[in-house]
Structure 1
Amino acid sequence: MSLGVRLRERREKFNKTQLDAARHLGISNVQLSRYESDDRKPDPEMLSRFAEYYRTTTDYLLGRTNNSASELNDSPSTAEYPAFEEFINNPDHGVFFKDYLNAPEERKEEMRRFWEFIQEKEKGRKPGDRQVKS
């Protein structure tokens, strides 16, 4: 299986469009399409970004192993907190949780609980509403 096929397979596994993935990765969807069709090869930095975004390893993407799992991929947060994962992967929000992906599991759980607390406090609040002190 080629690098391009593996990139497309991982993107589809996470139900992302080329446009979604390209935006997150900071590239054009045309460039992503070229990577996925094996017309172009990503440089090492881009390859690392793909591995992090697709929750796998560069070895898997390069075909050095058929095991697509990584520590990031196997994190309980992916299955148990999909809304949180989507939130932190949004470039506008990710700055707040920039260390999440590389944090120890204990710290990740702390950050997820904090996010849930924020979500609970914001329930029912509409844009423009003032925050209510509890």
Structure 2
Amino acid sequence: MLGPRIKKLRVAKKLTQKQLAEQIKVTHVSISGYENGNRYPDTDTLQRLADYFEVSTDYLLGRSDNAHMTADEEFRAFSNNPKLDHFFKEIESGDEQEQEELQQIWEIIKQRKRNKDK
């Protein structure tokens, strides 16, 4: 998830790998490795990437699909939606098997969205 998101953000800003590398103080080989999934940035570099692109580290890591919210913030916004209140109550009353099936369905939906974003 990290590599495609870095590349998408870099391309959106019309930057080469070398230009991005200069901005966040790493080598262009590192950027290439991050985008291809052969390397992973350390925490400081991950934060510099997030700061440069003005996104959350959760977004870069695939923990959130909202570039400007952490996974916890995204969940709070989702769970506070009044339209979903009834839905949440129904889920709670479901048995464990039903809840697991719903979670699997949701993971499929999220994966489909990620594939579209690539």
TM-score (norm 2): 0.56
In structure 2, the partner of 1:69 is 68
Q: Which amino acid aligns with 1:24?
A: Q
In structure 1, the partner of 2:2 is 3
Shift of 1:69: 3.0
Residues of 2 paired with 1:56 and 1:34: CA distance? Answer: 20
Q: Which amino acid aligns with 1:36?
A: E
What are the equivalent positions in structure 2 for 1:83-98 lying under 5 Å apart?
Answer: none
Q: Going by fraction, where is helix more abundant, 1 or 2?
A: 2
In structure 2, the partner of 1:79 is none
In structure 2, the partner of 1:75 is none
In structure 1, the partner of 2:23 is 24
Residues of 1 paired with 2:60 and 2:8: CA distance? Answer: 10
Shift of 1:16: 1.1
Q: Which runs of no fewer than 5 residues in structure 1 stay unpaired?
A: 71-134
Shift of 1:28: 1.0
Listed one character per residue, the Cα deviations across residues 74-116 of structure 1 (whole Å, up to 9, x for unaligned) are: xxxxxxxxxxxxxxxxxxxxxxxxxxxxxxxxxxxxxxxxxxx
What are the equivalent positions in structure 2 for 1:76-115 lying under 5 Å apart?
Answer: none
Q: Which amino acid aligns with 2:42?
A: D
The RMSD of aligned alpha carbons is 1.1
Shift of 1:15: 1.2
TM-score (norm 1): 0.49
In structure 1, the partner of 2:47 is 48
Q: What is the DSSP-based 3-state SS (H/G/I as helix, E as strand, rest coil) of the residue aligned with 1:60?
A: helix
Q: Which amino acid aligns with 1:16?
A: L
Structure 1 outlier segments of 4+, above 6 Å: none
